[in-house]
Chains A and B, each alone.
Chain A
Amino acid sequence: MMHQKMTAITALEHSVEIKAVSKTFGAFHAVNNVSLPIRAGEFVTLLGPSGCGKTTLLNMVAGFIDPSAGAIHIGGVDVTNVPVHLRDTGMVFQSYALFPHMNVFDNVAFGLRQRKFSKSEVTRKVMQTIEMMKLSGMEGRRISQLSGGQQQRVALARAIAIQPKVLLLDEPLSALDKSLRAQMQVELIEMHRNTGLTTIFVTHDQGEALSLSDRIVVMNRGQIQQVAEPIDLYSNPANGFVASFIGEINALPAAIYQASDREISLAIGDIRMTAPRRPEWKFGSGEMVKAFVRPEHVRMATSADAGSNVVTGEVLTHIYQGSHTITRLRIDGLGPIEMRLPGGDVVGRVPVGMPAQIAFDLSQVILLADNPN
């Protein structure tokens, strides 16, 4: 593989630093005091609901939008006032934005030609990138003669051909259908491994974020909520927003009535339970908190479960999903709770309308302060 690690050596010098950047439109804070250092070669994902400022932040890194405050450094250099065409970033647009009047080769060659490479150098680099993006044989095709997935690959090839200091991907997969998206995710991972490019990836698809990223930046209303590795984000959300945004979760109001160094005892409605204390929990006795329990951490109670952790609820629905079944129950004083049971477990299913005894996986309960943010 001749293209392997083609930028590995130079990539070490490159990194991006977003320093206290804000962007206001009128009185509206689209991006609010965001700071984010990105290591060279890292794959970082900006994740958040629609309108949270992901595209705005990415556009500020690329130079399409000037920050209202703060600074952006690329490769150790302050580029806040450097125009777009001198920033050396590679952006892939949601609309691909391929040049319809050029063929695949010329699209991929565009950035290289701006950099005044010799003709043979351009050809060599273009063919190398085209090969890496599995587009060999399509160099002469018009953009209109390509499928959506192929256009996507051309867009990526065009951006990585120039070996930018940072690759910026704004929801590049959102226009593809589900199976193609899964395939492109794999190719993105391979591309990143092959090129070692520092990458900022924007998505509002948490699954995509969890499977692709070295680190995920969760944003909401223009602000960073949490920056963490995927596993950490899922098992250790920093606040209620992150907990509910990443994966499914039951949010239950809880009161702490006893707190020791090792255990915390909670009352969730009428239910009393004791969970092992996590070091980051600073709550004391008498405090109101939110208890978050993922559906996969709720199960049917067995005789082994301690009485205090067992809750009786009424089964509302079963939603069969192949590999698993989502069961919704109503528990008096708490409202609905979702649990996730392995798919083949049809025999043991409690019929709808009947009471079922469930238990929480107490070591997995997440407690967070009971404020909106």
Chain B
Amino acid sequence: MKKLYTLIKNDLKLIVRDKTLLSFLLLPPVLIIAFKFLTPILVETAPILEEYRVIIGMFASIQTAIMFGFVTSFLILDEKDENVMNVIRILPISGFYFILYRLLFATVFSSIAAYAMITLSDIAHPGNLEAILLAILYGMTAPTISLAISTYAKNKVEGMAYFKGIDLLLMLPIASFFVGSSLSMVFSILPTYWVFHFYETSYNDAPAFEFFAVGFCFFGILISLLLFQFRKRVFGR
């Protein structure tokens, strides 16, 4: 417990002393407020958007959820860059503890932020249970992003590029709502396809829980694979 406290304190220092990380950490509440106030204005000026509320909700929630994954990945990238990873590996506690605790925190914070976006911003409310389930799915993007970036990016410049790429990939399945149903399935190879479709069906009062189930398993498998890769590539030698 004392060690956990030390880790949290240390990570907070590292985040607060880095302008980029701090701003990414503060972005979710800013986004929530911005979407809360801007969406009604937007819908009023362009009434056609009323039909697309749930799409706006998907987009707003994913943007909110990914920030914590980004922050975590950059903490780890810094440790790789500064060679601190080697020191962590020779500590009498498992280096994996360092990583797992961060992934857990990032997941929890991402979930909370996504939940706040879904329920507080009044963009598109899917129902209470559905909001919680959606928040869990959105939260799972955090460890996915953290692990993908910190395993494969060699430095922070690459990390930033990866982040943009991953952000785009995660948003891409929104396109599935604008193409014919046959083409729509193409996007199912991305985990957020299942998240977005669960959101959409929930918002239209016909929640399809199979979307949740597949999304949950999809992220679960993806995270396990990435954890395995991380272990091999970052802690492996």
Are A and B associated in one complex? Answer: no
Chain A residues with CB under 8 Å of chain B are none
